[in-house]
């Protein structure tokens, strides 16, 4: 028994809103993959964490370096 026949047996149709159920299955898989990738990549720590001077504008960073001298 194929997946399509099983689906028709359970739900009575293999289309919804004019699109085949396979479209929605593949769409769901892509959404799950994107969510999983976001979870993995957002949970990674950066290799080189930025320092406080990296976030300052160039003029403020120069002023801070001059104050250290």
Query: pLDDT per residue over 17-27, tens digit each?
Result: 777 777 888 89
Residue 62 falls inside a structural domain: yes
Tokens of 5: 């026949």
Supply the range of the domain harboring residue 40.
21-68
Q: Report the alpha-carbon distance of residue 24 to residue 21 in Å, rounded.
A: 5
Q: What is the pLDDT of residues 36-69, one digit of tens each?
A: 999 999 888 877 766 655 665 666 556 666 666 6
In a domain, 27, yes or no: yes
Decide if 51 is inside a domain. yes
Q: Is 64 a domain residue?
A: yes
Q: What distances in angstroms separate CA 64 from CA 7, 38, 51, 52, 55, one per listed residue?
A: 67, 36, 13, 11, 12
Helices (H), the chain: 3-11, 21-43, 52-55, 58-68
The pTM score is: 0.51
Let me know if residue 28 belongs to a domain.
yes
The token duo for 11 is: 């739900």
Domain count, the chain: 1
Side-chain-facing half-sphere of 39: CA atoms under 13 Å: 6
């Amino acid at each position: 028994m194929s997946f399509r026949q099983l689906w028709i047996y359970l739900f009575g149709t293999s289309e919804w809103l004019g699109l085949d159920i396979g479209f929605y299955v593949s769409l769901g898989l892509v959404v799950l993959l994107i969510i999983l990738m976001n979870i993995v990549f957002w949970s990674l720590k950066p290799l080189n964490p930025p320092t406080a001077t990296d976030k300052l504008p160039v003029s403020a960073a120069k002023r801070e370096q001059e104050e250290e001298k």
